[in-house]
């Protein structure tokens, strides 16, 4: 198997190669460039704003993606993107832009919980083994490096339970709750995992 990408090199306030200060919360990838999928849009957009300010001071033209190398160039590219984005009146970040950490997280949990909700009640040995491989591979390649690393650590302590649909759904719920806890969010009641991800609420509002 290929080695896992490591996007976890830096967090909190960092400095790019071009000495452009990065806002707290911005995370750099192993290539030294800001990692969008490890950063929330709020921190991400700040880099765009500071770049826009710098650009107007320098009175230089905005460089496009790929101009120069390293994090400084990446910051410049992000600045251009954010400037275009904020200039649009009907701009919808989630529909038009690459995923940040939050969007990626919500979409991924939707996929993982839904996959667990439709996993067989009595999976064959082959299905169990495939699901284990899928989750192991997933934890190697999830494109938020520090999230993936955390997941890999948790999976060492509490390996995936793939013996039945219920086992997998509850295991996934537990994994998600560990992340919720780490982020200071409320724990989800795992008794409601089928209602949330398969059956919908009993009042029929989702039908």
Q: Which of 5, 31, 109, 134 touches ligand FAD (CB under 6 A)?
A: 109
Q: How far apart are CA 113 and CA 176, in angstroms?
A: 9
Question: Is 102 an interacting residue with respect to ligand FAD (CB under 6 A)?
Answer: yes
Q: How far apart are CA 191 and CA 206, in angstroms?
A: 18
Question: Is 27 an interacting residue with respect to ligand FAD (CB under 6 A)?
Answer: no
The SS3 assignment for 63 reads: coil
Going residue by residue from 156 to 185, which x/- string records binding to ligand FAD, judged by CB under 6 A?
Answer: -----------------x--xx-xx--x--
Size, binding site for ligand FAD by CB under 6 A: 21
Q: How far apart are CA 114 and CA 6, in angstroms?
A: 27
The SS3 assignment for 144 reads: coil
Q: Which of 75, 77, 151, 162 touches ligand FAD (CB under 6 A)?
A: 151
Residue with smallest beta-carbon separation from ligand FAD: 105
Backbone angles phi, psi at 116, to 5 degrees: -65, -40
- For the bound state, the minimum distance from the C-beta of residue 200 to ligand FAD, rounded and expressed in Å, comes to 12
- For the bound state, the minimum distance from the C-beta of residue 91 to ligand FAD, rounded and expressed in Å, comes to 20
Q: How far apart are CA 89 and CA 104, in angstroms?
A: 24
Nearer to ligand FAD, 46 or 196 (CB): 196
- For the bound state, the minimum distance from the C-beta of residue 167 to ligand FAD, rounded and expressed in Å, comes to 14
First-last CA distance in the chain: 43
Nearer to ligand FAD, 75 or 193 (CB): 193
Contact 19, 49 (CB under 8 A): no
Q: Choose among 1, 41, 47, 43: nearest CA to 21.
A: 47
Nearer to ligand FAD, 82 or 193 (CB): 193
Token couple for 133: 């491989």
Binding stretches for ligand FAD (CB under 6 A): 101-102, 105-106, 108-109, 113, 142, 146-147, 150-151, 173, 176-177, 179-180, 183, 188, 193, 196
């Amino acid at each position: 198997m290929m080695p896992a990408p490591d996007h976890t090199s830096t967090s909190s306030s960092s400095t790019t190669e071009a000495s452009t200060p990065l806002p707290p919360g911005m995370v750099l990838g192993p290539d030294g460039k800001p990692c969008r999928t490890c950063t929330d849009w709020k921190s991400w957009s700040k880099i765009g704003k500071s770049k826009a300010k710098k650009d107007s001071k320098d009175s230089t033209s905005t460089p496009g993606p790929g101009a120069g190398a390293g994090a400084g160039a990446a910051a410049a590219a992000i600045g251009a993107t954010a400037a275009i984005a904020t200039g649009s009146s009907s701009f919808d970040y989630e529909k038009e832009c690459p995923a940040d950490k939050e969007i990626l997280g919500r979409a991924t949990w939707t996929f993982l919980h839904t996959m667990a909700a439709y996993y067989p009640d009595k999976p064959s040995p082959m299905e169990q083994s495939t699901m284990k491989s899928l989750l192991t591979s997933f934890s190697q390649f999830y494109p938020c490096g520090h999230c993936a690393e955390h997941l890999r650590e948790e999976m060492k302590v509490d390996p995936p339970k793939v013996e039945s649909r219920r086992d997998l759904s509850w295991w996934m719920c537990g994994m998600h709750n560990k992340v919720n806890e780490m982020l200071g969010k409320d724990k989800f009641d795992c008794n409601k995992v089928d209602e949330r991800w398969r059956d919908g609420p009993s009042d029929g509002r989702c039908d």
